[in-house]
Amino acid sequence: MADGPINKTEGKVGGIVIRDDWPGYRLDLFTYPEHYSGDLECVYLPHGIIMDRTERLARNIMDDIGDHDIVVLCVLKGGYQFCVDLVEYIKALSRNSNKSLLMRVDFIRLKSYLNDQSTEDLHIVGGEDLSVLTEKNVLIVEAVVDTGKTMKALLKHVETFRPKMVKVAGLLVKRVASGMGSLPDYVGFEIPNRFVVGYALDYNEYFRDLNHICVISERGKIKYKI
C-alpha cells in the first residue's frame, strides 16, 4: 500500500491510494470463512483498515455537513456494509459532540454487474419513493465507483427530486481510463481496476459474507459463474 496521490482520474479523487503493483496480503495471515478456501487469491484490504478509514470519512462528513439533518441514501446491495459502518461512526461522532444530527436512512437498489463484467445500463431495481429527498441534504453511500457512469446516472435521477444538497461517499474508486463519470466527494480507497469481493461486494451474490475485501481466484470465478 502507498499513500500520496497517483490517481489518473481527474478531479476530486482522494483517499488511500493502492498502487497497481500492490499484491495484497497472503490469505494465511488472516481468517476468513472456510467455505471460501481456494476461491480467493489474496486479502486486498483487511477489514480493520476498512473500518479505520471509514471512521475518518465519518469525521470528514461530520465536519462538512454535521450541522444539517441528512438523508443517507444507501446504494444496495454492495453498499450495505459500508453504509452500516459509516452511519455507526457518524452516530458516535454526533453523540460525542454537541451536534445533534438527525439522520434518515433510505435505500436504492442498482444492478449493473454480471459475473465480473459491468453491463452498460443503470438498472434501478427497487427502493423507496425518492420524493423523501426533496429539499433534503442527501448523502449517497456507494461501495464501488469505477467509470462513474452509474454514479452520474444516479445523481441525475436523484436531482430530479430537487434535494437541497447531494454528497457522495464511495468506499472504493477504481482507476479506470474512461473518465467522464461522477466521482465521490468522500473516497475511502483509490484502487487499480481489479474485481474485488467481500465487505458486501459480491461475485454473482457470493462473497458478501466475507469481512475483508479480497481478490477472487480463477477457481472461485469458475465455481460461482452463472
Q: Which residues bind ligand HPA (CB under 6 A)?
A: 78, 113, 144, 146, 195-197, 201-202
Question: Does the footprint of Mg ion cover residue 113 (CB under 5 A)?
Answer: yes
DSSP assigned state of 185: S
- 106 CB-contact burial (10 Å; exposed 0-12 / middle 13-18 / buried 19+): middle
Question: Does the footprint of Mg ion cover residue 202 (CB under 5 A)?
Answer: yes
| Helix, strand, or coil (residue 201) | strand
Instruction: Report the DSSP pairing between strands 186-191 and 165-174.
Output: parallel
Smallest distance, ligand HPA to C-beta of residue 115, A: 10
Q: How far apart are CA 201 and CA 76, in angstroms?
A: 10
| Residue 197 binding partner per list Mg ion, ligand HPA, none, with a CB distance cut-off of 5 to 8 Å that depends on partner kind | ligand HPA
Q: Can you state the percent helix, strand and coil of the chain, rounding each to 5?
A: 25, 35, 40
Angle among Cα 174, 140, 74 to the nearest 5 degrees reads 95
Position 14: which residue type?
Answer: G
Cell of 67: 450541522
Smallest distance, Mg ion to C-beta of residue 25, A: 23
Active-site position among 52, 67, 116, 146? 146
| Residue 195 binding partner per list ligand HPA, Mg ion, none, with a CB distance cut-off of 5 to 8 Å that depends on partner kind | ligand HPA
Q: Between residues 79 and 163, which has the closer beta carbon with respect to ligand HPA? A: 79
Smallest distance, ligand HPA to C-beta of residue 223, A: 16
Smallest distance, Mg ion to C-beta of residue 114, A: 9
Q: Is 146 one of the annotated active-site residues of the chain?
A: yes
Q: Between residues 87 and 210, which has the closer beta carbon with respect to ligand HPA? A: 210
Q: Which residues are catalytic?
A: 146
